[in-house]
Structure 1
Amino acid sequence: MAKKTVVIGFMGTQLDSGLGAGRWAKWRPTVSLVQHEDRLIDRIELLYSKKYQSLADLLVKDIANVSPETQVNLVTAEVADPWDFGEMYAAIYDWARTYPFDPENEQYWVHITTGTHVAQICMFLMVESRQIPGVLLQTSPPRKQTQGEAGEMTLIDLDLSRYDSLAQRFSQAKDEAIEFLKSGIATRNARFNRLIEEIERVAVRSKAPILFTGPTGAGKSHLARRMFELKKARHQIEGEFVEVNCATLRGDGAASTLFGHKKGAFTGAAADRAGLLRAAHQGVLFLDELGELGLDEQAMLLKAVEEKRFYPMGSDKEVTSDFQLIVGTNRDLRVDVAEGRFREDLFARINLWSYTLPGLAQRPEDIEPNVDHMLARSSSEIGRNVRFNAEARAAYLLFAKSNEAPWSGNFRDLAASVTRLATLAEGGRISVEQVQAEVSRLQWLWQHAGGDAAALVDDAVDLADVLTASQLEQLDCFDRLQLECVVRICRQSRTLSEAGRRLFDKSRTQKAVVNDADRLRKYLHKFGLNWDALNR
């Protein structure tokens, strides 16, 4: 048995209008629904406002005249402002929630030719979200108007799963955005790639504050700017990218730089100043090293983020600025909150999206693609093509990925190193001798820190990533701290054996048979963990 066809739509107060006999000489969208001889419309659910009752009654009569088999239900939809999206969507949504849809026996066509543009958009969203289980129906007048002509009727199915090419295009756009955030560098570290994938989703969907924590040179500022450029390319923001290092702000200058001031607000304030928060209006404000900002400025910033308004120094008149805040810090703000150096309410406000960027030493597999990227950039800057010879490349990467290279300055150290190599390369080739000299320079650079290179790296470990809640509850403080250290070393190491050598560096010398990997494997097994799980 064929399903009944039900059309849902708004009455068109303009297109459907007409009272005299001449109305039959014009194309009326709602009436045209029943003028197609090859398509029977069993029922029409016609939404309308009661102030147009006479027109609605006339349409019911005209439809009955053309198609007596078609039932018309008049549905009152009283909307004070038909151009108000929230009000219109609520009216349609409330009606759809109580309507007795019967998809097994009826098919639903949602007519989007009539009604305000807002109503049409709301209908589209209701179908796309399956709140109305149907397809869109678009009608259009005949090319040559003649009496009784039905015009054209087109059905649009919004089931995107049927359109493989469109789904592939959406996937491609996402991949392109992720590559953009990574500056086109083919990073291989699985944890970092998952991190960037989530940041991409947040970048294009959210305007809430974002907190980047990580060691100096880990790329916080660079990633913030790439997020801004991605949003700008998608026309999600109109303003500029404004960056400030809070560690450089002191005294009255801090509040003045951020919030502006009125002339005469303090000694030296010779003229009005707008401030960087206002400069970031409709754009992105990146505050690096936010933990260095004073408590008074933190309180002012909290108000500006929450209310989009604040008082410039020396002014009794509020100003407004609507910006997205991205924050960077190499400090653990949770510790600063506990010790009273950072406001708890501000931390809660900026901590909706919080990400810890790993240092370069935690991503040894990403060193090679970053070296290639930086070498290509250096070649462009100096105006000549520069490459490693095979032996030099192998020697440099062997050192760069080893425990001897802490990369305490992270990507800043790596960029400076590659720049030196490219600049000094004779004939566009980096030799083994140059690499040896560069390695000596880097060792001298990092010599002041002393001790284990891993101590230079601040790589926070959250055991909730690898253990269940019940497992965490059963851990003693001692076991928790020990396991955090073990997980950190495992993530810093390339192999299970390397991690074992680092963890058992003293006791291994006292054993007749050394099996660092087996000792570490057994320790992890106590907690239901394994090497692969820690390095996914």
Structure 2
Amino acid sequence: MKRVLIGLLGTKMDGGTEAWRWDRWRPTVSLFQHEDLAWDRMELLAEPSFNILAKQVADDIRMVSPETSVELHRTDFGKDPWDLEKVYSVLHDWSRGYRFDPENEEYFIHITTGTHIAQISLFLLNEAGTLPGKLIQSSPPPSGKFRNPPPPRYAVIDLDLSKYDQLSTRFEREQTEVLDFLKSGIATRNPTFNRLIERIEQVAMRSKAPMLLTGPTGAGKSHLAKRIYDLRKQRAGLRGGFVEVNCATLTGDTAASALFGHVRGSFTGAQKDRPGLLREADGGLLFLDEIGELGLDEQAMLLRALEDKTFLPVGADRAVTSDFQLIAGTNKDLRAEVAAGTFREDLLARIHLWTFALPGLAERREDIGPNLEFELEKYHRNHGRAVSLNKEARTHFLKFAEAVDTPWRGNFRDLNAAVTRMATLAPRGRIRPEDVAEEITRLKESWQRPERGCEVARHRLPDDLLETIDPFDRVQLCYVAEVCMRSKNLSDAGREIFSVSRGKRAVTNDADRLKKYLARFGLCFDDLR
């Protein structure tokens, strides 16, 4: 492949027309004085006011390296060579207009000459891929007394960090540390959740836009929001605090006051000014859990605060400012709430840029084991008492916890409660199989719900019957059985079941129709009663 050098004319260091110019180091010319560097072409960028100097440098390059062709390019940076916007634009336009041939040519960008602004621009264009190639830095020979003076030096910098094993390993290690931090050090195994955490890490470090965490109650939204705040404070320079509020607790006239503050005398009981949670979060992060519970008026005020960083406290006639970052949490489908008119569509659009759906514990059964250990460690930290499960007890608990029919209705709150109870009752800090069995019974009882009519009726029907009919027939039969169970007689049940179709019949005999329907399944009304 041909080797091409792209560089700016050094108006001071490359200068000189006297014969003694060869006695000093000139960065551009020096790159052609290395035996291990052979250049096919030099693209020399120079401002028009230095045209004579540029031609002199081009001639010197040809003298040192006759096999190299030198092309001069006019780059006019204007009156202020320190104007980043202007310099970058000129170099960007030149790069876009240059016909690169990466399949046949290898490019090197010289970043020793030019102003610091020009060097930064070259670096940014190279990093963005607009100016492809490797960066090359030239430097004078080392100073000192030498019998044979050493040649000038150079260094090639390839911004493809994947080629640097130590750097790549370091970055991977740092990213792993960040992901572990967001996961509280839990070695989660669920691939969907792990990919979700990777995306959250990228957004948390690169964007200040609102984030929306969705998922069932107890999925860990609040805990994750706090970890995101800690990460941003450590690595993104977040200076303010973490303010958390459950919007379900903000009701009535106090909701706006709690969020946006109020001035003294704005309503009965307002005996002094109140800053409000948004002002407390200035410079920090505000976590609004269950944001779907906010009233429409508060939603409108929040939207303005997000867009303008300003809002009016209750009773105030002058707006105040607060520059906060927002994370919202909800267990509702906010799109359905918008359709129902209980949530503002414009607010949803504002907070929906980065939405992450946290799975419930039942969707992450392979993570129950690592989370079990985490909960035991947390109990130790909080209570100063180390507790563990013996092998049999652990196997028994995980067999139950990871079973597909274990609902985990409260998600991680249920797991936390289970570990807390077992650890508290464990004799001598050791959870036994009988302790696990007792806790399993307790969990099952907590998950029981009063059965609905159709579910009760289902238990009145023979199991072998339900197994031999199609699912849609099963649903219909359960409904008919439920109506029969609470009706006084066959006629009353028939009238309710056939309340619509009976009006379209010339002769109505609801009891007979119902009797025949039940007979299809070998049932009668008295059996269900």
Scaled by the length of structure 2, what TM-score is found? 0.75
The residue aligned with 2:430 is 429
Q: For 1:413 and 1:366, locate their aligned partners in 2 and report how far apart those are by CA, in whole Å.
A: 14
When structure 1 is superposed on structure 2, of 152-161 and 263-272 the one drifting more is 263-272
Kept in 2, the 8 Å contact 1:138–1:154? The answer is: yes
Q: For 1:266 and 1:304, locate their aligned partners in 2 and report how far apart those are by CA, in whole Å.
A: 22
Query: What secondary structure sits across from 1:78 in the alignment?
Result: coil
Query: What secondary structure sits across from 1:144 in the alignment?
Result: coil
Deviations 1:356-400 (A, max 9, x none): 222223333322221121012212333333112233323333333
Deviations 1:305-364 (A, max 9, x none): 223333344444444433332110122211211111110111111112222222223333
Kept in 1, the 8 Å contact 2:29–2:60? The answer is: no
Q: 1:402 to 1:276 in 2, by over 3 A?
A: same
Query: What secondary structure sits across from 2:427 in the alignment?
Result: coil
Letter in 2 for 1:60: K
The residue aligned with 2:419 is 418
Q: 1:267 to 1:84 in 2, by over 3 A?
A: farther
Letter in 2 for 1:231: R
Kept in 2, the 8 Å contact 1:304–1:310? The answer is: yes
Deviations 1:37-66 (A, max 9, x none): 66455544333444xx14x52243245246
1:91 aligns with 2:90: yes
The residue aligned with 1:127 is 126
Alignment of 1:248-287 (within 5 A): 248-287=249-288
Query: What secondary structure sits across from 2:428 in the alignment?
Result: coil
Q: Please tell me whether Structure 1 or Structure 2 has the larger radius of gyration of its CA atoms.
A: 2
The residue aligned with 1:61 is 56
Letter in 2 for 1:133: P
Kept in 2, the 8 Å contact 1:34–1:63? The answer is: no
Alignment of 1:160-171 (within 5 A): 160-171=161-172
Q: For 1:270 and 1:16, locate their aligned partners in 2 and report how far apart those are by CA, in whole Å.
A: 74
Shift of 1:265: 4.0
Alignment of 1:434-453 (within 5 A): 434-447=435-448, 449-451=449-451
Kept in 2, the 8 Å contact 1:27–1:145? The answer is: no
1:9 aligns with 2:10: no
The residue aligned with 2:113 is 114
Query: What secondary structure sits across from 2:356 in the alignment?
Result: strand
The residue aligned with 1:534 is none
Q: For 1:418 and 1:33, locate their aligned partners in 2 and report how far apart those are by CA, in whole Å.
A: 69
The residue aligned with 1:226 is 227
Shift of 1:264: 4.3
Letter in 2 for 1:33: L
Shift of 1:34: 4.1
1:510 aligns with 2:465: yes
Q: For 1:239 and 1:11, locate their aligned partners in 2 and report how far apart those are by CA, in whole Å.
A: 47
Q: 1:62 to 1:352 in 2, by over 3 A?
A: closer
Shift of 1:87: 4.5
Shift of 1:246: 1.4
Query: What secondary structure sits across from 2:323 in the alignment?
Result: coil
Letter in 1 for 2:349: A
Kept in 2, the 8 Å contact 1:288–1:327? The answer is: yes
Kept in 2, the 8 Å contact 1:35–1:66? The answer is: no
Query: What secondary structure sits across from 1:215 in the alignment?
Result: coil
When structure 1 is superposed on structure 2, of 337-346 and 184-193 the one drifting more is 184-193
Scaled by the length of structure 1, what TM-score is found? 0.74
Q: 1:226 to 1:100 in 2, by over 3 A?
A: same
RMSD (Å), alpha carbons: 3.6
Alignment of 1:57-456 (within 5 A): 57-65=52-60, 67-68=62-63, 69=66, 71-78=70-77, 86-144=85-143, 151-235=152-236, 237-402=238-403, 405-447=406-448, 449-451=449-451
Q: 1:223 to 1:28 in 2, by over 3 A?
A: same
Kept in 1, the 8 Å contact 2:54–2:72? The answer is: no
Shift of 1:236: 5.3
Kept in 2, the 8 Å contact 1:45–1:75? The answer is: no
Q: 1:262 to 1:127 in 2, by over 3 A?
A: same
Q: For 2:219 and 2:254, locate their aligned partners in 1 and report how far apart those are by CA, in whole Å.
A: 28
Q: 1:184 to 1:109 in 2, by over 3 A?
A: same
Kept in 1, the 8 Å contact 2:77–2:87? The answer is: no
Query: What secondary structure sits across from 1:355 in the alignment?
Result: strand
Shift of 1:262: 4.1
Q: For 2:78 and 2:348, locate their aligned partners in 1 and report how far apart those are by CA, in whole Å.
A: 42
Deviations 1:273-317 (A, max 9, x none): 443333333432211011111111111211222233333444444
Query: What secondary structure sits across from 1:442 in the alignment?
Result: helix
Letter in 2 for 1:450: P
Q: For 2:339 and 2:430, locate their aligned partners in 1 and report how far apart those are by CA, in whole Å.
A: 53
Q: For 2:86 and 2:264, locate their aligned partners in 1 and report how far apart those are by CA, in whole Å.
A: 46
The residue aligned with 2:28 is 30
Q: For 1:218 and 1:128, locate their aligned partners in 2 and report how far apart those are by CA, in whole Å.
A: 40
Shift of 1:182: 1.8
Deviations 1:415-435 (A, max 9, x none): 122112112211111123322
Deviations 1:60-98 (A, max 9, x none): 324524643452513214267655655544332221111
Q: What is the number of residues matched between the two proteins?
A: 460
Deviations 1:219-252 (A, max 9, x none): 0011112222233333353433222211222345
Kept in 2, the 8 Å contact 1:79–1:91? The answer is: no
Q: 1:79 to 1:319 in 2, by over 3 A?
A: farther
Shift of 1:111: 1.0
Kept in 1, the 8 Å contact 2:127–2:159? The answer is: yes
* Stretches of structure 1 lacking an aligned partner (at least 5 in a row): 456-502, 517-536
Letter in 2 for 1:209: P
Q: For 1:509 and 1:85, locate their aligned partners in 2 and report how far apart those are by CA, in whole Å.
A: 81
Q: 1:149 to 1:219 in 2, by over 3 A?
A: same
Q: 1:422 to 1:313 in 2, by over 3 A?
A: same
Kept in 2, the 8 Å contact 1:211–1:350? The answer is: yes
Q: For 1:314 and 1:324, locate their aligned partners in 2 and report how far apart those are by CA, in whole Å.
A: 25
Partner residue of 1:46 out of 44, 47, 53: 44
Query: What secondary structure sits across from 1:427 in the alignment?
Result: helix
